[in-house]
């Protein structure tokens, strides 16, 4: 157990009903494969207290909070002040997920863009990384993030990256990170793997997005943090690295971007 390479699931949703009554077993399975940290993501701010409680109750779990773009039109619009206040919690380590989703919710694109800019300003003010969801919105995403970055720097990860190579290049040019999910492990995802292979390895994170997008051999089943190890092994192959070396690299990357999580762990 102690010789296992340590790894972090940088994005999961442990408050979702899929894990109700099963969290302890889920965390035990994660520990068995070397997953030492998880960031559980609050997608609707009215659920922040319950997500926070999960992080408070379990040492390996940190959390982030924001309004998911697909919920931006139906949830109350947040404010920079609200997000900054929530961010004072010692285990709150990221702003989001936020972003743009024009696949299912293009009719609310203007509201999504307003929400995104609010989250960006909160990331600037707190120094916490922005966690971005982007789907079928590459042009507007690049425009807004580039424009906002020029107005004032902030850290950012493009979570569950599966957009095109142009957006990836633009985001990497801004110093942002790309997060590899189970999608990269799907047999038909060679284009996604090629995008990651072209990126600097010191800008890569790994995640599950659990309970979604389980990698093989679990595809079609509920995803969980333990399965980030399967995705990381694909990542090691993509970069031509030994698994232990790739895991160590993603750990260093996570701690560089999510520095508050590293500081909290060091103080524990």
pLDDT at residue 264 is higher than 80: no
Indicate whether this model's pTM tops 0.75: yes
Section 86-96 average pLDDT = 98
Q: What is the mean pLDDT of residues 41-59?
A: 97
Q: Using the predicted structure, report yes or no on whether residue 1 has a pLDDT greater than 50.
A: no
User: For 30-46, what is the mean pLDDT?
Assistant: 97
Name which residue leads in pLDDT, 93 or 268: 93
**Are 70 and 260 spatial neighbours (Cβ–Cβ below 8 Å)?**
no
Ordered structural domains, the chain, with CATH: 7-267 (3.20.20.140)
Is a pLDDT exceeding 50 seen at residue 260?
A: yes
76: Cβ–Cβ under 8 A, 6 or more apart, which residues?
45, 46
pLDDT digits 0-9 by tens, 148-199 = 999 999 999 999 999 999 999 999 999 999 999 999 999 999 999 999 999 9
Do 155 and 257 meet the contact criterion of CB atoms below 8 Å apart? yes
Give pLDDT tens digits for 209-224: 999 999 999 999 999 9
Q: Which band of pLDDT confidence, cut at 50, 70 and 90, is reported for residue 3? A: confident
Above 80 in pLDDT, residue 50? yes
Peptide bond into 238 cis (omega under 30): no
| Long-range CB pairs of 52-61, under 8 A, 24+ apart, other chains included | 52/89, 52/91, 52/92, 54/14, 54/15, 54/23, 55/91, 55/92, 56/91, 58/23, 58/27, 59/268, 60/27, 60/30, 60/31, 60/35, 60/36, 61/14, 61/27, 61/37, 61/91
Side-chain half-sphere exposure of 9, counting CA atoms within 13 A: 36
**Helix and strand element counts for the chain (H, E):** 10, 8
Distance (Å, rounded) from C-alpha 18 to C-alpha 124? 33
Residue 159 CB partners (closer than 8 Å, separation 6+): 10, 11, 96, 97, 131, 132, 133, 179, 181, 207, 209
Per-residue pLDDT, averaged over 29-38, amounts to 97
Closest to 216 measured CA to CA, from 238, 177, 189? 189
Angle, in degrees to the nearest 10, between helices 165-173 and 190-197: 20
- Checking if the pLDDT of 268 tops 60, the result is no
Total residues found in the chain within this entry? 268
């Amino acid at each position: 157990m102690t010789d296992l390479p340590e790894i972090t699931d940088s994005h999961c949703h442990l408050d979702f009903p899929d894990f109700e009554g099963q969290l302890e077993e889920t965390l035990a399975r994660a520990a068995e494969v070397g997953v030492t940290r998880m960031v559980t993501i609050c997608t609707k701010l009215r659920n922040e207290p319950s997500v926070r409680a999960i992080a408070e109750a379990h040492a390996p779990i940190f959390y982030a909070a924001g309004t998911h773009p697909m919920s931006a039109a139906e949830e109350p619009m947040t404010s920079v002040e609200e997000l900054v206040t929530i961010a004072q919690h010692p285990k709150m380590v990221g702003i989001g997920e936020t972003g743009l989703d024009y696949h299912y919710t293009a009719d609310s694109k203007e509201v999504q863009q307003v929400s995104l800019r609010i989250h960006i300003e909160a990331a600037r003010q707190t120094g916490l990384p922005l966690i971005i969801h982007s789907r079928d919105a590459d042009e507007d995403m690049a425009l807004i993030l580039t424009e906002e970055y020029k107005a004032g720097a902030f850290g950012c990860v493009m979570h569950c990256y599966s957009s095109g190579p142009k957006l990836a290049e633009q985001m990497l040019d801004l110093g942002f990170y790309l997060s590899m999910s189970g999608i990269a492990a799907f047999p038909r995802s060679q284009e996604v793997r090629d995008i990651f292979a072209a990126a600097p390895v010191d800008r890569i994170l790994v995640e599950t997005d659990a309970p979604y997008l389980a990698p093989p051999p679990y595809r079609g089943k509920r995803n969980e943090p333990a399965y980030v190890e399967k995705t990381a092994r694909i990542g090691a192959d993509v970069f031509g690295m030994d698994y232990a070396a790739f895991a160590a690299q993603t750990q260093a990357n996570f701690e560089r971007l999510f520095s508050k999580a590293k500081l909290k762990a060091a103080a524990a």
